[in-house]
Amino acid sequence: MDYRNKHILAPMVRVGTLPLRLLAAEYGADITYGEEIIDHKMIKCERRANETLGSVDFVERGTGSVVFRTCDEEKDRVVFQMGTSDAVRALAAAQLVCKDVAAIDINMGCPRAFSLSGGMGAALLSKPELIHDILTTLKRNLNTPVTCKIRLLKSSRDTVELAQQIERTGVSALAVHGRTILNSSSETSATSVMVARGALWNASIFCAKGKSSWSDVKREYLRKSILWDNDVKSTKHTLKEMIMHYSSLELAEGKAVIKSETDMDLAKLYGEEEYYHLVNINRP
């Protein structure tokens, strides 16, 4: 996969599921990242072809919960992002999913306490030998492109040195989360750009002709969530994030989303009952 001159949907926890990825791609995103999934969780999964949806599901043994869902429509652009602190475990998880995605990405930038306590995410930034071990292990054993995403270190010099070390592992691309710089206007000589919250609030930000209305984007997101049987908690969370940027959860729409318990509740709220019934009429 070529990462040059691309507009990319960035990985985002709890919202980077199949409906938002497909929506972003429909509006023009060249590459879409899924939400970070921890290797421990992934290696507990088994791959299942979902004939009802036409998707590929990675389902956790014992619980039956879908940890990652993808489909042929995004196979050439979706990047599976993983949280890991161990090369062998990372490889096991990657081998399970690599034939169904366009690339494997290692998250080396997440600052959450959960990630740091497990030696994952930003904790890796102070462990260049472990970074090298993880990336080279994946590179040696996979035909799928391998990438990683880091944060800025305390100094520009340290960041550049780490980036050069990562480059030497042979990864296909390196994303830098420039949290402390002006992401939208800095001149970094980067070949591509990732969009996170801007795409979450209105995925049509990727459209070359200009953004669609907020209301239309919300309805399109809901339709894709219904079509792909997205977990209703995930759908509600994403809708709430969309609402909070432009409005308030204290107003009628926000309160109605919070009260909704099913896809049908959300369909009624956004006037998509007919679509809901059309999608579900032939489902077992």
- Does residue 1 sit within a domain? no
Angle at 145 between CA 27 and CA 178, to 5 degrees: 65
**pTM (2 decimals)?**
0.94
Of 172, 206, 240, the domain-final residue: 206
Tell me the C-alpha distance between 13 and 38, whole Å. Answer: 11
How many CB atoms within 10 Å of residue 241?
15
Q: Is 56 annotated as a binding residue?
A: no
Domain ranges, residue 41: 7-206
Name the residue among 102, 110, 137, 125 with its Cα closest to residue 29: 102
Query: Binding residue per annotation — 12?
Result: yes
Shared domain for 43 and 119, answered yes or no, is yes
Annotated catalytic sites, by residue? Answer: 110
Q: Are residues 157 and 244 in the same domain?
A: no
Residues 186 and 269 in one domain: no
Residue that is last in its domain, among 206, 225, 242: 206
Whether 16 contacts 34, CB under 8 Å: yes
pLDDT string in tens for the chain (284-residue length): 999 999 999 999 999 999 999 999 999 999 999 999 999 999 999 999 999 999 999 999 999 999 999 999 999 999 999 999 999 999 999 999 999 999 999 999 887 888 888 888 889 999 999 999 999 999 999 999 999 999 999 898 999 999 999 999 999 999 998 865 645 445 667 889 999 999 999 999 999 999 999 999 999 999 999 999 999 999 999 999 999 998 999 999 999 999 999 999 999 999 999 999 999 997 87
101 known member of a binding site? no
Number of structural domains (the chain) is 2
Whether residues 241 and 258 share a domain: the answer is yes
Whether residues 184 and 138 share a domain: the answer is yes
Do residues 69 and 134 share a domain? yes
Q: Is 240 annotated as a binding residue?
A: no
